[in-house]
Every structure is written in C-alpha cells, then in structure tokens.
Amino acid sequence: MKLRLHSPRELATRLRLTARRNPEEVEEYLDTHHEEWEALAEADPHDAADILEELGEQAATDLIADLDPDDAADVLEEMRDDLAADILEEMDPEDAADVLEEMPADEAVDIIHRLDPEARMELIAKLEPYFTDEVRQLLEYPTDTVGGHMTSSFASLPLGMTAGEAIERIRQLNEELEDLSYVYIVDDDRKLVGVLSFRELVFNRPGAGLADVMIPNPIGVTPLTDREEAAELAQRYHLFSLPVVDDSGRLIGRLPNEEIMEAIQLEASEDFALATGAGAHETVFTPVLGSVRMRLPWLSLNLLFALVVTFVIEHQTGIISEEPILAALMPVIAGLGGNSGFQSLAVVIRALATDDVPGAQIFSVMGRQLAIGVLNGVNLAVIAGALAMFLINTGVFNSNSSPITMGLAVGIAAFGNVTVAGFAGSGIPLLLRKLGLDPAQASSIFLTLITDVVGFGGFLAISAAILS
C-alpha cells in the first residue's frame, strides 16, 4: 500500500476508506509507518478512532499501545465505549491506567462501566489516588443518571465579585478549563445562585456587582436526575450544559454538552429498539445470550398474537375455499395497513420523545392521524380496487367472482385497514403513556396484531358479505 499524501487529514481519509474494504492492508501499513500513525493520532484523534474501529481488536490494541498516553486517551475518547473497554482490557494494566488518567474522569467512567468486573477492579487499583477518588464517586451513581456522567470541570465565581474582577478571573479560567460556555455564580456556602451571561458582563460597568449582572435561579439538576430528563430540560431551555447541585443546592458538577447530545441520541435509539421489541440497551455488540433474554419475551408475545390472527383466519376458511384468490390478496391488505400504522406510530413516538404532545392535545393528535388515515384510505382503496379489477379482467388473477365485486371488496378492506391502522398507530403509544408505561414499549407488536386482524379477518368478512 503506497500513499503520497501531504497532511494527516488526507492520510486519515484514505486509510478510513481502505480499512472498510481491506482492514488487513491498513493494519500492515500502520505497523510499518509508526511516525505517520503517531502524527495522525495527535492531529486528529477522531479520524484515528474511526480507523481503529474498522480494524481487528488486537491490531487496534497494538496501535493504541504505540501512542503516548495523552494521545492514546484522546483517541479512545472518540471511540465507542465498548470497543475502548475491550482495548484497555487487552493492554497491560499499568499502561491502561496511564491512558485513563489522561482522560476527564467522566469520560473514563463511561469506559470503565463497560469493563468486566475483574478487569475493572484491577484497573481502578492501578490509578493514582487523586484520580481514583473522583472515578469512584462517579461510579457510585447509576449509569442512567446525571451523576454517572457529570464532570467536576466547571467555571464558578463568588457572588461578591464585581464585573471587572469577573472578567479578569475568566481570563485566568480560560487557561485552566476547556469549556467556558457558562460561568456559574455561587454564594459563600457554594450554593448555586446564578449563571453569568458574557453579554451582560461585557456591557455592564466594571464596578457592577455580579448579583446585578447574573441570571438568577438557573435551571439545574441533581446527580440522581435521570439523564434523559436532563437532556429534555436542556432542549426545552436551549442550554449547552446543565449545572449539577446536591440536595443542599451546592454546585458539585456540570453535565456537559456532549453528554446531553449522547442522551438524546440514546433515547431516540432506545425508543426505536423498544418499538420493535428489541432491548432498550441492546447493541450489535451485546452478548448473544443477553440479546436473547431481551428479545425472547416480546417474540413470544408476538407468537401469541400471531395465533390470534390464525384463529380469525381459520374461522373464515369457507370463503377462501370458494374464492382462492382471497388468500393471495390478504397480505396486500394487511401490508397496506401495517405500513400506514407504522407511519403514524413513528410520528407520535418521535413527538412523545421530545415532549411535544401535551395532555390537552391528545385527542387532537389522534384526530389528525385518523383524518390522514381516512384520506390515505380513500386513495388506496381506489387504487387497490382498480388494480384488482384490472388483473382479474386481464386474466392475471383467476376469480370465480366478477371483477367489479372483487374490486369492491378489495377497496373497502383497504380503506378500513388503512384508516384503523392510522388511528391505532397514534393511539397505542398515547395509551401506553396514559397507563404510565414507556410509549415505545413494543408498540409495533400491538400495532401488528391490530392491522393483521383487521387486514386478514376484516378482508375475509367483507369478502364473504359482498361475494356471497
């Protein structure tokens, strides 16, 4: 593999594309070009992480081990936490501890959570005491709470300062902290009393007190606040980060923007997984038995519902014997309803995830989705009925009934199932929320039951009534 490139970015782009097609070639190249690998990792850790994620675990471990601890830490921070944990487990514990100590404690904890218990204890024992204390404190909080992801790196100023003194202090903080999006104001007891707006600070007189300059009573969370709830607060009030206070209101940390964004993405992926009956925390790297335990209960319920549909069909086999073409048309009607229902389901679950459906608007939302289902149903009824008539007239389908009556049966069934599916797709998640359950919890399984019963059973019942 020969590369003549002028910058680490160009090299990274070429290596990333090649790694997706031929990871062994990239492994061989990086093994023989240590200086280029080190320059790439130092210049752009994100690109370096992307390349490592395409390589084998052992190759990625060897390449991380070749880097200085600070560069290795930067690269691991950009990798998936589960893969970063696998790499640390393969490294010498002393070297792995040196890398972790170069990370912010909250980032290190995200990776430590994914280590095997034995490796976790061994690695923590190798960390320096100053770092271990902060890590242990964060590990005490559940992973789905703010406390498990907050950072102790934040800017704060005492309430008694003037605007001029605050500006000078912020200049000093800029050399110590990476993120100065917000500067929090605390009283003598370290209680959070306000947040500083740089605009107000700059345009006020130097002698003005911070009490007159700050925004009082800022939105804050506690370490035990659910991380998704914190992310919703940040979205609602358009905040880049959130201050974390203890039970007494003392400022103890900050939930950074990257953790808020990760929580939003996690919530969206969890809702999608739950809606299909998969595990909320399942990934493509989840152990096989873990995935089976999360999926099997919902698949078993799906089997039970499928038997209900079978029972409905079995009790109407007479009309199928008289008109065999109905057996071929049933999946068409059920499929139309299923797709229509999933569209409504996706829209409503997305709205619920962003808290865009107030209680007073529930019937309005359902009415709107029902109206959409009716209009789509009318159009699809005409199209489906016309196609059925055309296919029977041209001899593509063989039918014992007239094309007009068969087209009428297909059209009415299509209209009914699409309309019911649109209403059910909006109603199921809203009903689950009303019952205090997760709106996304296997909604698709319940929706499939309804669309199959109406699609198969309803179609056969309508056909029996029209064709008899």
> What tens digit of pLDDT does each residue of 64-120 get?
988 998 999 999 988 888 889 989 988 888 888 899 888 888 888 888 888 888 888
Closest among 426, 421, 428 to 455, alpha carbons compared: 421
Q: How far apart are CA 330 and CA 32, in angstroms?
A: 62
**pLDDT of 35 above 80:** yes
User: 255 Cβ partners below 8 Å, 6+ apart?
Assistant: 146, 149, 150, 151, 221, 227, 230, 234, 241, 242, 244
pLDDT digits 0-9 by tens, 354-367: 666 776 778 888 88
Comparing 8-17, 200-209, 268-277, 314-323, which segment has the lowest mean pLDDT? 268-277
Which residues belong to CATH 1.25.60.10 in the chain? Answer: 8-140
Q: Which pLDDT band, with edges at 50, 70 and 90, does 439 fall under?
A: low
Closest among 127, 441, 81, 124 to 259, alpha carbons compared: 81
Residue 195 has which token pair? 């947040």
**pLDDT of 351 above 70:** yes
Q: Specify whether domain 155-256 bears CATH 3.10.580.10.
A: yes
301-to-70, 107, 449 alpha-carbon distances in Å: 50, 39, 10
Q: 288-467: CATH homologous superfamily?
A: SLC41 divalent cation transporters, integral membrane domain (1.10.357.20)
**CB-based contact 429:440 (threshold 8 Å):** yes
**Burial environment of residue 21 by CB neighbours within 10 A (0 to 12, 13 to 18, 19 or more):** exposed
Residue 442 has which token pair? 């296997």
**pLDDT of 176 above 80:** no
pLDDT digits 0-9 by tens, 362-416: 888 888 899 999 999 999 999 999 998 998 888 888 888 888 998 999 999 999 9
Which residues belong to CATH 1.10.357.20 in the chain? Answer: 288-467
**pLDDT of 325 above 90:** no
Task: Report pLDDT for 239.
Answer: 87
**pLDDT of 275 above 60:** no
What are the start-end ranges of the H helices in 253-324?
Answer: 257-275, 288-314, 317-322
**CB-based contact 121:95 (threshold 8 Å):** no
Q: Which pLDDT band, with edges at 50, 70 and 90, does 268 fall under?
A: low
**pLDDT of 16 above 90:** no
Q: How far apart are CA 294 and CA 327, in angstroms?
A: 34
Q: What percent of the chain clears pLDDT 90, i.e. is strictly above it?
A: 14
- The residue with greater pLDDT, 102 or 5, is 102
**Averaged pLDDT for residues 289-317:** 79
**pLDDT of 442 above 70:** no
Which residues belong to CATH 3.10.580.10 in the chain? Answer: 155-256
Adjacent-strand bridge partners of 184:
156, 195
Task: Report pLDDT for 168.
Answer: 83
The three-state secondary structure class of 442 is coil
The three-state secondary structure class of 255 is strand
Task: Report pLDDT for 301.
Answer: 79
- CA 319, 322, 323, 324 torsion: positive or negative? positive
50-to-15, 41, 79, 131, 268 alpha-carbon distances in Å: 10, 11, 7, 28, 23
416-to-223, 250, 313, 322, 421 alpha-carbon distances in Å: 50, 59, 17, 23, 8
User: Mean pLDDT over all residues of the chain?
Assistant: 83
Q: Which pLDDT band, with edges at 50, 70 and 90, does 468 fall under?
A: low
* CATH for the stretch 8-140: 1.25.60.10
Task: Report pLDDT for 7.
Answer: 63
Enter the pTM of the model. 0.59
Q: How far apart are CA 316 and CA 323, in angstroms?
A: 12
**CB-based contact 429:341 (threshold 8 Å):** no
**CB-based contact 137:164 (threshold 8 Å):** no
**CB-based contact 115:86 (threshold 8 Å):** no
27-to-60, 77, 86, 102, 188 alpha-carbon distances in Å: 8, 21, 18, 26, 56
Task: Report pLDDT for 378.
Answer: 94
Q: How far apart are CA 13 and CA 19, in angstroms?
A: 10
**Averaged pLDDT for residues 186-202:** 85
**CB-based contact 220:243 (threshold 8 Å):** yes
Residue 321 has which token pair? 């014997």
**pLDDT of 426 above 70:** yes
Comparing 9-23, 225-239, 377-391, which segment has the lowest mean pLDDT? 9-23
